[in-house]
Amino acid sequence: MRVVIALGGNALLRRGEAMTADTQRRNARVAAQAIAPLAAEHEVVITHGNGPQVGLLALQGAAYKPEEAYPLDVLGAETEGMIGYMLEQELGNLLPFEQPLATLLTMVEVDAGDPGFQNPTKFVGPVYDKGEADRIRGEKGWVFKQDGDKWRRVVASPAPKRIFEIRPIRWLLEQRTIVICAGGGGIPTMYEKGADRKLIGVEAVIDKDLCSELLARELRADLLVMATDAEAVCIDWGKPSQKAIHRVRPDDLEQFSFPAGSMGPKVEAASHFARTSGKTAAIGSLADIAGMVRGDRGTIINTGFAGLTWHG
């Protein structure tokens, strides 16, 4: 099978962890250990989140004058290289020497008129107490929203329209290469208004789940796996009545509501992939990637299922 695996940003830098290179390296090693066994049987494409990392780089930009700070598209490119390097090296340490791996900087087109620019929703960077968030808001003019009992910066998150490097990704897969691409939803770009095909960067962070879904469709993947910090899609999360969905059709998921800042985009993206491609999507924990490929772990979404079933 051709499998696209989308690693959530928290899979590489978990909430509350120190934002250090050693921490990210350790988490990249865990991800590699979960993915490496699939390489012998399947074509593998890996995407990843970058919210914590791009936020960290933006904070480091405080050393610059405001007009000298690097924009989010450049920071997104930096995170693609940083995270891709770690994943590529950790996978290479587990796989046969002859297995090729490649990290591809991936530009993604967005629409200048996307409503996401009017309502920033994408969480980036670390969490803060309200007092600290208010102080930074006053200093930098950043927008903050509540994330659980903490506060985090939010930035614009336009929908992806086109993946510019889709042909090189296909070429690499034809050579049995494990490809790491579209990190953080890709580098946000658009054509400058009034110019003749002049591509420019955009101050935004594209939703990684929506971009991974677009990538999986354009690659005609057999399976889209969305690895997160939950074992499955659950209803009544955190309540005594919590139940984990096992197998489900996209239409049956519409009866439930999921948080917009966490599980909602994953359910939306997975359902869209299953509905439009006729193939399978899966949502579950990083440790259960192999089980999701087998179909016995996580939440498996396909239009051909007879109905909704639950984990026991």
Q: Is the torsion defined by CA of 8, 10, 11, 13 positive or negative?
A: positive
User: Which residues have C-beta within 8 Å of that of residue 123, sequence separation ≥ 6?
Assistant: 51, 145, 147, 152, 153, 154, 261
Strands ordered across the beta sheet of 43-48: 101-104, 178-181, 43-48, 2-7, 223-228, 280-285, 299-301, 247-248
- Please state, in angstroms and rounded to a whole number, the distance separating the CA atoms of residues 90 and 12: 13
**Mutual angle of helices 72-92 and 21-35, in 10-degree steps:** 60
- Please state, in angstroms and rounded to a whole number, the distance separating the CA atoms of residues 174 and 160: 25
Alpha-carbon separation of residue 1 from 24, 127, 219, 223, 277 (angstroms): 29, 38, 12, 7, 14
Do the Cβ atoms of 187 and 100 come closer than 8 Å? no
- Please state, in angstroms and rounded to a whole number, the distance separating the CA atoms of residues 214 and 40: 25
User: Which residues have C-beta within 8 Å of that of residue 237, sequence separation ≥ 6?
Assistant: 259, 263
E-strand spans in 64-160? Answer: 101-104, 107-109, 122-128, 143-147, 150-155
Q: How many helices (H) and strands (E) does the chain have?
A: 10, 17
- Please state, in angstroms and rounded to a whole number, the distance separating the CA atoms of residues 207 and 154: 12
Q: Which two tokens stand for residue 299?
A: 């939440």
- Which residues are tagged catalytic? 9-10, 122, 208, 266
SS3 assignment, position 116: helix
